Structure 1
Amino acid sequence: MIDKKKLSERDICTKFITPAIEKAGWNKLTQLMEEVTFTDGRIYVRGKLTARGARKRADYILYYKPNIPIAIVEAKDNNHTVSAGIQQALEYARILDIPCVFSSNGDGFLFHDRTATDGGIETEVDLDSFPSPQVLWEKYKKYKGITTPEVEKIASQDYFFDGSGRRPRYYQQIAVNRAVEAIAKGQNRILLVMATGTGKTYTAFQIIHRLWKSGAKKRILFLADRNALIDQTRRGDFKNFKDKMTVVKHRMIDKSYEVYLALYQGLSGSDEEANAYKQFSREFFDLIVVDECHRGSAKEDSAWREILTYFGKATQIGLTATPKETEEVSNSEYFGDPIYTYSLKQGIADGFLAPYRVVRVNLNIDAEGYRPEFGKKDKNGVEIEDRIYNRKDFDRTLVIDERTETVARKLTEFLGGYDRFAKTIVFCTDIDHADRMRRTISNLNADLVAKNSKYVMQITGDNDEGKRELDNFINPEEVYPVIATTSELMTTGVDAQTCKVIVLDAEIKSMTKFKQIVGRGTRINEEFGKLYFTILDFRNVTDLFADKEFDGDPIRVKPVSPDIDLGDIIEEEELDDSPIIDEESGEEIVVEKPSAPYPLPPVSVENTSEPRRKIYINGVDVSVLISRELYFDNSGKPITTSLKDHSKEIIRGQYASLNDFLGRWKSTAKKEAIIKEMEEQGVLVDALLDAVNREVDLFDLICHVAFDQPPLTRKERANNVKKRSYFAKYGEQSRRVLEALLDKYADEGITNIESMEVLKVKPLTSYGSPIEIIKGFGSKAKYLEAVKELESELYSTGA
């Protein structure tokens, strides 16, 4: 007779839970998946080092068909009750959008039915009565509102698998399933909001493929407004449509294909004859997918909206990372509220997106303003207007050479202390600013530019050479270009997997544009060491991180009224700062906009196309007032209190008293576990050590910050142990090893001496191999006991 109480959780799964599920008819190869990890674990940045947090893992996920998860089972050992895992299972079910939730300890199951409406939401099920796949599929259909065989056929259509083993991530599964199910039930306007870098195009491909294979949609149009987006789509997952797909490049259109990729500009024009989309009948397309739908087609009176209106009978899906919701422009008014949102914050928390560090650099003239001395003339000898110029003027109406050089020098210094070959995008005010920034950075990095002139390049809409290098910049295999200076061209549609530094030297007030720019750095590429990125902010743009709109759900604010008078809406260029795209080339047209704080003289209609005259000066004292790193809490919001106060609040929330903490410290075998716990709670351990004292360890740091105890440095603690006769009971060799470990602690901290790897480095290697050192103590267990005792001695003086 097996004593269940002595079995591990894994043994309970193997001997009781798995057999019970299989017995109910679940196929172990295709439907019953054990120990399913569905997040990658948040990336924590420690100086230049990174570490992964814990991944979320479900003990079992049950699938009716591949990637249609319908049940989750959380297992515990038999020392727990049958219901002990239900709350964790429910949390995972909420994240994964799963209706049927089970908990088990090997004696039976507790079934939580999220579809129940009659009061029987939780029931116990014995091991011989686990529900079959068909039973739980019926509950899934109820949960999703799938009520007819026609809807079921479409909703249960298999995903596309290419044999590579790639499968949708959990949030992509949810987005695909919700979109397909909504369309199968007759919904014709769909909005999906997914952060940059989370695979919107792959998600769109899976939606299209399932609808296409099921026969629900036979002719599909994928619309974008940039060549780069179309090219990436064609070369990426959409290549699997093979000869069924075409890219619309010419005005004469072949109507024999089933999947069409097109630029808005390739289908529409300024006159009726150029409107190629009208070569199709209004009913030609069953499905239209609009990439980056926050851009041109978001406006009610946009010429590009006419295409969507023309094909109004087709189902239309809008994809965006940054939906526009203002009183004048609304994605949700057209597409409806998002059926699924996966935010930047969630992507970072799950470990699918790179976290960011923010370094704010304040310049003296930015903070104080610049007033020219009496009679100051520009480079053309024209006297400058006597007024105070501020940050909004710099590089837009007033160009100060020394300011450009100071920004470029600060970037150069940063890369010199970090990585001079870290892919970097510098966002400038306009094309002129990007050109000047390129020249200045080149001069400050003459040694590297001499080796390869493409070390820094201007990549803007007017620069053909730079645009040709865009693919090389975003290619992880290519070293050059390293630094790209730009204005608008690289804000969207640039899949820069290895971009490690983003420089903000432009006034950015649009939340949409800010999110797009931040998105250039959020992709992870572990193979090339890209796990986080740094934002160097020279214009206080990162104040937008504190805005409640930054990572919240989009809220519809445009009034939905048939009586809107478009004459009351302000000019289009004031509403939308998205780049304007040339109809033929598909490239950006940069339009100067007036600087808000100062009125301009009236401009005649004939001269409205003339660029504003800039003033160029030099001989101005420009210096860095302050450079500091901003810190963010676990929800991604900037920490506005002091780092010590913020940390104290978190620690005191975890440990009610000093004695609580001391008890936890003594009972934890490896102190690294406490560091990990602290970081997962949001304590920035490394930053706090920098702020308090690098010479103390975590024990003293917590005691000092949270409980106001006077801290001892690691060296002081080590010396206190040496003064006592603690080592007398050991032989000479073992005594030397422990003294060396004590010195290691004083230099590097407690986590180093807890690792067996410490025996492989100097000075420990001078006492023999790890095996020989351990033998000196009698056994591995006795060596570990000696290390544990050494730790007790270190902290015996307490706090």
Structure 2
Amino acid sequence: MFPPDSDYRDERLSESDTRSKLIDPALRLRGWTEAHIRREETAGAIDIVDGRGKRRRGRTDYTLRVRVTPDAQPVAVALLEAKKNQLPPDHGLEQARLYADSKRLNVPFVFSSNGYFWVMFDRSTGLTSEPRPMSEFPTPEELRARYEAMMGFRLDSPAARPLLVRYPGGEGTRRYYQDAAIRATLEKLARDATQEKPGRALLTLATGAGKTFIAVQLLKRVADAGQLRRALFICDRDELRQQALAAFTNVFGTDAAEVKRNPDGSNHAKNARIHIATYQTLDVGNEDGTANFLLEHYPENYFSHIIIDECHRSAWGKWSQVLLRNPDAVQIGLTATPRQLKLPEKTAGALEDEAITADNIRHFGEPVYEYDLAQGIEDGYLAACEVVRAQVDIDETGLSIDQILALKPVDAITGRPLSREELEELYEKTSFEDRIMLPDRVKAMCADLFQRLLETGGPEQKTVIFCVRDAHAQAVAREMGNLYAEWCRENGQAPKEYYAFKCTAASGGNDQLADLRGSSNSHFVATTVDLLTTGVDVPCLRNVVFFRYVQSPIAFYQMVGRGTRIDLASDKLMFRVYDYTDASRLFGEAFLTRYTRPEGSKEGEPGDEEGPGPDNPQPPPQPIPQVEGVSVLVRPAGRLVVAQVDGQEKLIPIEEYKERLSERLVQAAPDLEHFRRAWVHPDERRQLVDHLVRSGYSPKVVQVVEEMTDYDLYDVLAALGYGMNPLTRLQRAGAFGYKHRDWMGTMPRRTAATVLAIANQFSRSGTEALESPQIFNVPEVVRAGGLPALKELGEPREVLRQTKERMFEA
């Protein structure tokens, strides 16, 4: 085989030039037009520039899509990875395979090409083809036939009709993984329909990834395909119902309504096509639920489609009647919890998680699509996560009954002295603040946390502290408020109202959620038990704190999920997990999906991770021992970040993360000069950063966690990999003026002033500012002389190139 004739055969081309000069023309000859090719761009990392968030360029993946009719939504079937024309055609195949699977783009075929030859990996067979010339690249018709054979249905069949419905308002609002999740679901439902099986699908996406958007778009496309009769969207909290109602009415209008009982006893959603309910409104919230509302207003097979939000929250108790009474309905489960958890300890909460997971897998099947926290961070859609661990000494050693008795314990409510017998019945290790209250422990932990807040931006950061029980939440809120008041007094500052407040079901915490979310002058620290564990959006939340022991991996992931959203309005790009109870051990474990329920336990019985609330009432009152005079020491126990390692979500110490990132950087660019040369060429720079990110280690994570957002990524990486003394963007731009005074002295005065004005833009936006075509429209550059002044020296593009190269000279 010989490569096709080409004017570029002996020329070294970059990846982008290989694509534009070799691959794109060859694809067009095989019938692939722009209508068939989609550039899927990730959000990209975020920099803070002049006090505002600015995104860097994200990763771009090229998908090949087939179209059944000119008006139909194109369906992605393949990923195409382009490599430099001097590399083997399969050079990028392994990388591309990672991004084609069910955790990325969800396409069955992966191509890699150097512009002359191509190779293809088929996910269904696991086979990789031999290199073949571009003149033999599969046509859209040939790839469609392969896709249909693999999927088991034809794209022009009724079962596949929702796949061909366009997004309302176009594709500009969806993210690549949301489209992949929607396609994966519709493909699974089309296969089920073709095989005459009930439609079932399970989706696993990290909190903040937009599961509600996916649910709305799924039902809209099914409805527009003429296959929706009535749909039920069910969740487990009023706050989540209101969020969902807003999203559905934005697309369906009055066809969407919340399920609730009107004053006359009728169903408020009776005439709607989309019913949005909570378990509680259907009277199936727990084992004691009567299901009266469900049975009264919804006969069997009333719904054609049911979506269960946060399906991991359920234990297949009373609420399962919703599914069992609609066996013919398409049923879709949504969850933010990882599909597999290797349970490190067989606690009651962990065993309950196993049961829920096994039930979900048995009912819905294996997830059709997964998108985890680490991937969301890598793509720039979710906030970077730093984990700060601390150890409380008495939690490690425990307190003996004799030690407690020596401190004269009393009932925290009545003040009555407690006997040894009462203590022995109540007390066990790690039951602090649950069965025994230690005010000194609360004070020590709060003091440590408050000091950490002072060191990372000040006390007025939106923070959620997860506590053991309502009384513990009250004590923590009181202590954090006292620490803040004292700090304000010492610093001559007027304290803001409602600094710390209890936000639990027992205290009517819903009333203050709006202030936690929206107010910038009050409600900074919320102490809770379980009210904020799921679904409630607080984008500005910067800290998630564990003062309680967590046994349930599901509960842990839901708690952490409160911090994952990026919020540009408050410049929130990362969040911290402060872990005082080793809860973060539950990050990223693999998990069992089959479980046999212990004999004697009830199906649907809530695990002990559920806090007090209307669906999980407090047990009968017991004495609450309170012990004062205990010496408590809180010690630092390390800083870690969440990362993807070999496709798995892992928790890695920051120093180890930086070491691994440095190793991969030096492998790609052996010394500082190689790195500098790559950095000043946009294609090579993007390829270098993409290589680091795809290997699981993001420079942006280091930049944010080490609080280097005033530095260009060039300096972050140069310091990390080559020991260079980093300069901030402002320092580097300032140094340019005196380092290159002689060079600018050879220029006309206006030209030199313009070059200096261009260099000053680096202080605001970094490397990419020097490559922006809009740089000549910046007022400072225009005032100095602008484009006409550069033309006095020759080709403006060449002057820009030299300016950029000199910016990074030692």
SS at 1:481's partner residue? coil
Which aligned pairs between 1:574-613 and structure 2 lie closer than 5 A? 575=607, 577-578=609-610, 582=614, 589-591=616-618, 609-613=619-623
Question: Per-residue CA shift, 1:183-217, capped at 9, x if unaligned?
Answer: 22324222222221111111111221222221223
Q: Is the 8 Å Cα contact of residues 325 and 332 (structure 1) preserved in structure 2?
A: no
Q: Distance in 1 between matches of 2:326 and 2:29?
A: 51
Q: Contact conserved, 2:665 with 2:692, CA < 8 A, in 1?
A: no
Match for residue 217 of structure 1 among 203, 225, 228: 228
Alignment of 1:319-718 (within 5 A): 319-322=334-337, 325-327=353-355, 330-370=359-399, 371-372=403-404, 374=406, 376-378=408-410, 380=415, 382=417, 385=420, 392-417=430-455, 418-446=457-485, 447=488, 451-464=495-508, 466-475=509-518, 478-545=520-587, 548-549=589-590, 555-559=592-596, 568-569=600-601, 573=605, 575=607, 577-578=609-610, 582=614, 589-591=616-618, 609-626=619-636, 628-631=638-641, 634-635=644-645, 636-639=649-652, 643=655, 664=674, 680=693, 682=697
State the shift of 1:11 in Å: 5.2
1:67–1:172 distance in 2 versus 1, CA, 3 Å:
farther
Partner of 1:304: 319
Structure 1 residue 252 corresponds to structure 2 residue 284: no
Task: Report the more deviating stretch, 256-265 or 484-493.
Answer: 256-265
Distance 1:503 1:115, change over 3 A: closer
Question: SS in structure 1 opposite 2:233?
Answer: strand
Q: Deviations over 1:235-287 (max 9, x none)?
A: 11453111222211015236433221112222236576824334322122111
Q: Where does the alignment leave 5 or more consecutive residues of structure 2 unmatched?
A: 340-351, 708-714, 728-738, 747-764, 772-783
How many Å separate the matches in 1 of 2:726 and 2:512? 51
Question: Which whole-Å CA distance do the structure 1 matches of 2:53 and 2:418 have between them?
Answer: 53
SS at match of 2:539: coil
User: Does the CA-based 8 Å contact 1:460-1:488 persist in structure 2?
Assistant: yes
Note the 1:268-279 alignment, pairs <5 A. 268=283, 274-279=292-297
Measure the CA separation in 1 of the matches of 2:278 and 2:690: 49
| SS of residue in 2 equivalent to 1:637 | strand
Cα offsets for 1:562-583 (capped at 9, x unmatched): xx8x85336865646345764x
- Give a deviation string over 1:381-436, Cα, whole Å, max 9, x none: 51564889776232112222222222222232222232333211111111111112
| Residue number in structure 2 paired with 1:183 | 189
Deviation at 1:621, TM superposition (A): 3.1
Deviations 1:719-757 (A, max 9, x none): xxxxxxxx9x989999xxxxxxxxxxxxxxxx9999999
Report the residue type matching 1:217 in the other structure: L
- Structure 2 counterpart SS, 1:239: helix
Q: Is the 8 A contact 1:159 1:206 kept in 2?
A: no
Match of 1:262 among 256, 260, 277: 277
Q: Cα offset for 1:669?
A: 6.6
Question: Does the 8 A contact of 2:236 with 2:279 survive in 1?
Answer: yes
Distance 1:235 1:26 in 2: 40
Corresponding residue for 1:599? none
Partners of 1:788 and 1:115 in 2: CA distance: 43
Tell me, what secondary structure is at the counterpart of 1:353? coil
Question: Is the Cα–Cα contact under 8 Å of residues 301 and 325 in structure 2 kept in the other structure?
Answer: no
Task: Rate the CA distance shift 1:450–1:438 in 2: closer, same or farther, 3 A.
Answer: farther
1:341 is displaced (CA, Å) by 2.0
Residue of structure 1 aligned with 2:165, choices 136, 158, 167: 158
CA–CA separation in structure 2 for the residues paired with 1:172 and 1:496? 21
Q: Distance in 2 between matches of 1:752 and 1:283?
A: 59
Matched letter for residue 4 of structure 1 = Y
Larger radius of gyration: 1
Alpha-carbon contact 1:372-1:384 (below 8 Å) kept: no
SS of equivalent to 1:176: helix
The Cα shift of 1:220 comes to 1.0
Deviations 1:128-174 (A, max 9, x none): x76554443233222322148534542433143236x6433222222
* Offset, 1:516: 0.5
Match of 2:42 among 28, 39, 43: 39
Deviation at 1:231, TM superposition (A): 0.8
How big is the alpha-carbon RMSD for the aligned residues of Structure 1 and Structure 2?
5.0
Stretch moving more, 133-142 or 449-458 = 449-458
CA contact (8 A) 1:111 1:125 kept: no
Deviation sequence 1:349-380 (CA, Å, 0-9, x none): 32222221112222333334342363624362
Deviation at 1:118, TM superposition (A): 13
Tell me how far 1:515 sits from its aligned partner.
Answer: 0.6
**1:337 Cα deviation (Å)?**
1.9
State the shift of 1:688 in Å: 12
CA distance in 1, matches of 2:124, 2:634: 63
C-alpha change, 1:233 and 1:755, in structure 2 (3 Å) is closer
> Which structure ranks higher in relative contact order (CA pairs < 8 Å, sequence separation ≥ 6)?
2
Determine if contact 1:225/1:581 at 8 Å carries over to the other structure.
no
Query: What residue in structure 2 maps to residue 287 of structure 1?
Result: 305
Q: Could you tell me how far apart the structure 2 residues matched to 1:62 and 1:629 are? A: 44
CA contact 1:362–1:626 (8 Å) conserved in 2:
yes
1:536-574 per-residue CA deviation (whole Å, 9 max, x = no partner) reads: 1222222223x623xxxx542125xxxx8x853368656
Q: Deviations over 1:287-310 (max 9, x none)?
A: 1111111123x32xx111122212
Question: CA contact under 8 A between 2:40 and 2:176: conserved in structure 1?
Answer: no
Name the aligned partner's letter for residue 144 of structure 1: M
In structure 1, distance between residues paired with 2:161 and 2:805: 61
Report what 2:346 is aligned to.
none
* Residues 683-742 of structure 1 deviation map (CA, whole Å, 9 limit, x = unaligned): 99789999xxxxx998897689xxxxxxx9999xxxxxxxxxxx9x989999xxxxxxxx
SS of equivalent to 2:544: strand
**Residue type of the alignment partner of 2:568:** E
Distance 1:654 1:175 in 2: 32
1:110 equivalent in structure 2: 118
Give the fraction of aligned pairs with identical amino acids, expressed as a percent.
26
Deviation at 1:33, TM superposition (A): 4.0
Are the equivalent residues in 1 in contact too, given 2:516–2:538 (CA < 8 A)?
Answer: yes
Going from structure 1 to structure 2, the CA distance change for 1:483 and 1:166 (only over 3 Å counts) comes to farther
Question: 1:393 and 1:33 mapped to 2: Cα distance?
Answer: 58
Residue 746 of structure 1 is matched in structure 2 by none
Aligned counterparts of 1:110 and 1:469: Cα–Cα separation in 2: 58
Tell me how far apart the structure 2 counterparts of residues 528 and 433 of structure 1 sit (CA, whole Å): 30
Query: Residue in 2 aligned with 1:173?
Result: 179
Which one-letter code corresponds to 2:327 in the other structure? G
Q: Which moved more, 1:395-404 or 1:490-499?
A: 395-404
Q: Does the 8 A contact of 1:353 with 1:522 survive in 2?
A: yes
Q: CA deviation at 1:91?
A: 4.5
SS of the residue 1:266 aligns to: coil
How far is the alpha carbon of 1:508 from its aligned partner?
A: 0.9
